[in-house]
């Protein structure tokens, strides 16, 4: 792997397989890796609140024998209290790695530019690579494959959607993305993903019709309609996303044994009904658990050989 994990598009299919192979080992034989990060400290530089990302990284670092330090917005107000360059250079003298969870993707890029230690994108407004890797690891666990898997993403063309498009393209999947008009993924994301899809024999389709996307899908994925920082748009988004709710009539168009996924937190009754997220096809808590195992694999791979 490269020094940093900023975007899924920076990984090859071989590197993703390496992450998955190690994550599977870690999941099965946790104690074998109990000292993998011995003597190392990882800093969580977070601008946004978090449940899964913070807990999974803190527990993961501890289970690998390392030390984790949480640095919230009150401790480090990136770019305001102190320049990103100074923060990156200072933390590089104390820590072995930085996990950044920011509003701006540029902040993650700047941290990686100036830091001399690995930087992991724990979420930005453009991508959520750790989530997407964990999701595909979970799909592979369930379906025993990734190449050719038919995934339908229904909802907002947001950071999770962007990373899933990249990840599906690199692993040979077939993804259909259904969003309301004007909520499609950014053109530059699609352009890059189409290039990757061609190289890895994958496919990407965009539509404004959720029924079209879900037809024949093996995996149905959704996310909240209103992400952090978009609260002022919530009412408008509820109107614009009418008809994009994952419910019984919609999933009836999918494969009989489809899997339902959601990165969480979920706004029940908006993007998904209780009957779906709590139903027999839902694997949302399996994918949540796998954040722990996949992120531990990422940390081990990035930090191996670093004293």
| 134 pLDDT above the threshold of 50 | yes
Burial of 74 (0-12, 13-18, 19+ CB in 10 A): exposed
Query: How far apart are the C-alpha atoms of 83 and 70, rounded to whole Å?
Result: 19
**What pLDDT, on the 0 to 100 scale, is given for residue 229?**
81
The larger pLDDT score, comparing residue 1 to residue 167, is at: 167
**What pLDDT, on the 0 to 100 scale, is given for residue 77?**
77
Fold classification of 130-287 is: Rossmann fold (3.40.50)
**What pLDDT, on the 0 to 100 scale, is given for residue 41?**
98
Say whether pTM exceeds 0.85. Answer: yes
Q: Catalytic residues, which ones? A: 101, 128, 131, 223, 263, 291
Site of tokens 């389709």 = 205
Burial of 79 (0-12, 13-18, 19+ CB in 10 A): middle
Give the CA count within 13 Å in the CB-facing half-sphere of 1. 26
Task: Please check whether residue 138 is in contact with residue 290, taking contact to mean a CB–CB distance below 8 angstroms.
Answer: yes
Decide if 8-128+291-303 and 130-287 have a common fold.
yes
Domain ranges of the chain: 8-128+291-303, 130-287
Quick one: pLDDT band at residue 79, thresholds 50, 70, 90?
A: confident
Task: Please check whether residue 132 is in contact with residue 8, taking contact to mean a CB–CB distance below 8 angstroms.
Answer: yes
Query: How far apart are the C-alpha atoms of 132 and 270, rounded to whole Å?
Result: 22
**What pLDDT, on the 0 to 100 scale, is given for residue 307?**
62
Q: Which helix (H) or strand (E) holds 296?
A: helix 284-303
**What pLDDT, on the 0 to 100 scale, is given for residue 254?**
98
CATH class of 8-128+291-303: alpha beta
Mean of pLDDT over the chain: 95
**What pLDDT, on the 0 to 100 scale, is given for residue 102?**
93
Condensed to tens digits (0 to 9), the pLDDT of residues 7-59 reads: 999 999 999 999 999 999 999 998 899 999 999 999 999 998 899 999 999 99
| 1 pLDDT above the threshold of 80 | no
Condensed to tens digits (0 to 9), the pLDDT of residues 118-130 reads: 999 999 999 999 9
- What CA dihedral angle connects 154, 156, 160 and 165, to 10 degrees? 60
Condensed to tens digits (0 to 9), the pLDDT of residues 212-227 reads: 999 999 999 999 999 8
Residues 6+ apart with CB under 8 A from 96: 37, 40, 41, 42, 66, 117, 118, 303, 306
């Amino acid at each position: 792997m490269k020094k940093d994990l900023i975007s899924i598009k920076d990984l090859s299919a071989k590197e993703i397989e390496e992450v998955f192979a190690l994550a599977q080992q870690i999941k099965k034989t946790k104690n074998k890796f109990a000292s993998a990060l011995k003597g190392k400290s990882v800093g969580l530089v977070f601008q946004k609140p978090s449940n899964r990302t913070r807990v999974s990284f803190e527990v993961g670092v501890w289970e690998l024998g390392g030390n984790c330090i949480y640095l919230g917005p009150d401790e480090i107000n990136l770019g305001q209290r102190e320049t990103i360059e100074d923060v990156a250079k200072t933390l590089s003298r104390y820590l072995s790695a930085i996990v950044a969870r920011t509003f701006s993707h540029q902040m993650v890029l700047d941290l990686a530019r100036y830091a001399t230690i690995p930087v992991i994108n724990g979420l930005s407004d453009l991508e959520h690579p750790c989530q997407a890797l964990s999701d595909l690891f979970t799909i592979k666990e369930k379906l025993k494959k990734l190449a050719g898997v038919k995934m339908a993403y229904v909802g907002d063309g947001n950071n999770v959607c962007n990373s899933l498009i990249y990840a599906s393209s690199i692993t040979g999947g077939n993804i259909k993305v259904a969003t309301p008009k004007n909520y499609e993924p950014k053109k530059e994301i699609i352009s890059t993903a189409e290039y990757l899809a061609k190289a890895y024999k994958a496919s990407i389709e965009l539509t404004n019709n959720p029924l079209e996307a879900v037809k024949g899908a093996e995996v149905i994925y959704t996310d909240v309609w209103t992400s952090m920082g978009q609260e002022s748009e919530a009412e408008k988004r509820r109107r614009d996303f009418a008809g994009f709710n994952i419910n019984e009539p919609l999933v009836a168009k999918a494969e009989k044994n489809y899997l339902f996924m959601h990165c969480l937190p979920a706004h029940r009754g908006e993007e998904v009904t209780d009957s779906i997220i709590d139903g027999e096809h839902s694997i949302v808590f399996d994918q949540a658990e796998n954040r722990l195992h996949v992120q531990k694999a990422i940390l081990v791979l990035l930090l191996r050989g670093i004293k």
